[in-house]
Amino acid sequence: MYNVIIKVALAAGCVASMMGCGPNETEKQQLHAKEIIDSVKQLETAGKYIEALDVLARVDSLCPKALDERKEAHAMKPALMMNATTQEIAMTDSLMVASEIKADELMKQLAVIKTPYESYYGYAKLKGVSPRTTAGLYAELSLQGLVFHLTASGKGSSYGVKVRVSDRTAREYRETQLVDFDGERNRLTDNGLQIVTLTEAESAPLGAFVSAHRNADLWISIVTAGGKSWSDTQLSKEQIDGVATLYDIMEQRRIYNECKARLEHLNNKLNVLRNQQAEFADLKP
């Protein structure tokens, strides 16, 4: 309904703006400005404050001769901005709380893995299973829940390789750029497995793919620069769930932090608007 109101108001404005400035041009603009303001009031009543602000801006751009109506529009703007900001604060806060709840629930499926060098979260059902002994795809998450990376392993060779995760039923896949064989990030174990440790940037697209296809038949391949596959390993349910779960936690933490920063900005904006309103009220006779 409100989209129709907006379209009618804007269409009328376009026609008015294309017409020459005849004797009745001011009256035409005044009439159109009133129609726009009526549309804004209907949107405001419906709680569509952001849309109302967008429509209100048309009074100035389409009706420059409607001076009284422009004054009315300017007088409406502060309250609309405050309501729009308050509404966005509520929506952002709800999203932040929801992301925290989701992340906390998913965290119950993790276990802290301790090594001589660092401690991190891993999938509890895979605790004790290592890429050094069992081919597949493994996820790790920093204790802060923000740094996510993957380790892939499979039969391979001492060459630079790509890591590919594929849904063979859907014929879709994601793969990394070539990772050079350097004996560290890309290395061979004594039992012949090639282990490739991926960076956070390399891991995220694969994690997102696994999360989106977590109920599919997924495979991991160690692929050479020329496209030859050295190994193909079907991921176990635990490996798929592990990667998807840790990736989802990282995403929820990211959403939480973005919402937190956005809330700080919005609350500051609201305080400025309130101060401006108070100053304006003091200036009134």
32/144 same-domain check: no
pTM: 0.81
**Inside any domain, residue 274:** no
**Closest residue by Cα to residue 142 from 102, 200, 195, 201:** 200
13/123 same-domain check: no
Q: What is the pLDDT of residue 108?
A: 97
SS3 at position 152: strand
270: pLDDT strictly greater than 60: yes
| Domain count of the fold of the chain | 2
Q: How confident is the model at residue 117 (pLDDT cuts 50, 70, 90)?
A: confident
Domain limits for position 41 = 2-91
86/135 same-domain check: no
141/192 same-domain check: yes
- Mean pLDDT computed over every residue of the chain: 89
Q: What is the pLDDT of residue 16?
A: 47
**Inside any domain, residue 272:** no
Q: What is the pLDDT of residue 144?
A: 85
Q: What is the pLDDT of residue 276?
A: 85
**Inside any domain, residue 221:** yes
* Phi, psi values for residue 117, rounded to 5°: -100, -35
81/170 same-domain check: no
The single-letter DSSP state of residue 223 is: E
Residue partners of 281: CB distance under 8 A and separation at least 6: none
- Out of 46, 64, 91, a domain closes at 91
Dist. CA 234–CA 217, nearest whole Å: 8
8: pLDDT strictly greater than 50: no
If you average pLDDT over residues 41-64, what whole number do you get? 94
**Inside any domain, residue 99:** no
33/84 same-domain check: yes
244: pLDDT strictly greater than 60: yes
**Inside any domain, residue 279:** no
81/204 same-domain check: no
**Inside any domain, residue 273:** no
71/145 same-domain check: no
163: pLDDT strictly greater than 60: yes
Q: What is the pLDDT of residue 282?
A: 57
Q: How confident is the model at residue 157 (pLDDT cuts 50, 70, 90)?
A: confident
Strand 119-123, strand 110-114: pairing: antiparallel
115/251 same-domain check: yes
**Inside any domain, residue 263:** no
Q: Residue 139 corresponds to which tokens in the numbers above? A: 């996820």
- Out of 91, 119, 150, a domain closes at 91
